Amino acid sequence: MEPIVQISLDVTNIKDALELADIAVEAGVDYIEAGTPLLLGEGLHAVEALRKAYPNHPIVADLKTMDGGYLEAEMMAKAGATHVVVMGVAHPATIRAVVKAGRDFNVKVMGDILAASDKVACAKMLEENGVDYIIVHTGFDERGEDPARSPFDHLEEVVNAVSIPVQAVGGLSLDQAKRMPKYGAPLVVVGAPLVIDKKEFRASADRDELLNILRELVKKTKGSGE
């Protein structure tokens, strides 16, 4: 598939999310993600606000679903999400429930392998249960304790093990992110480097700086990372 650039709105309120989304859309970003902090802070209202503001953009709801899969996916779909995230370490019944809701409500499902003891086996299981994408995810807290950890630890193995598109998330620099298509991960996501300032979830650069950063990311990503 062709490279896709996704902005993760890892802020905690709708006002900041819409400001960041506006910059991202102007820069040419394809997908808008309601990040987990935003969903915790504003819930369905955040997805509804993003859908109203950007009626033609795909919206990812990073629910990190662990249970109650059908209902959570249904609620986000009805709020305007086009993609939802289920955890690979959830019970397979939950994964199947999210996938069923995805089919019923025309929503794509992303399977996140964060915290799986066997990343490759988890990715294969997610694919077998019908998810549409795999997320190779190294967590914020995990990287806090061991800064050497990154999605590169498992990315190549996972890409080679599945036939569905892969996304890599967690601790990637902007330079690494734009090169992800070369590593077999065409869904390029950027978020935390733009909004974590001194470990607080708020914009860490002014509007013009963010716009230029994102424009460059989009340009380089869609130019094969050169």
198 has a pLDDT exceeding 50: no
Write the CATH number for 68.
Answer: 3.20.20.70
Backbone angles phi, psi at 134, to 5 degrees: -110, 135
User: What is the reported pLDDT for 193?
Assistant: 56
Q: Is 20 exposed, middle or buried (0-12, 13-18, 19+ CB in 10 A)?
A: buried
Per-residue model confidence as pLDDT tens digits over 120-150? 999 999 999 999 999 999 999 999 999 999 9
Distance CA 204, CA 14 (A): 17
Question: What is residue 200's predicted lDDT score, i.e. its pLDDT?
Answer: 45
Look at the chain and report how many structural domains it folds into: 1
**How far apart are the C-alpha atoms of 104 and 118, rounded to whole Å?**
30
Q: Rg of the Cα trace of the chain?
A: 16
Q: How many Å apart are CA 37 and CA 208, to the nearest integer?
A: 24
Reported as a pLDDT band with limits 50, 70 and 90, residue 201 is very low
Find the domain containing 39 and state its range.
4-222
Q: Is residue 91 predicted with pLDDT exceeding 50?
A: yes
Q: Which residue has the higher pLDDT, 175 or 163?
A: 163
pLDDT tens for each residue of 69-87: 999 999 999 999 999 999 9
pLDDT digits (tens, 9 = 90+) for 10-29: 999 999 999 999 999 999 99
Entry pTM? 0.94
Output the DSSP codes for 56-99.
TS-EEEEEEE-S-HHHHHHHHHHHT-SEEEEETTS-HHHHHHHH
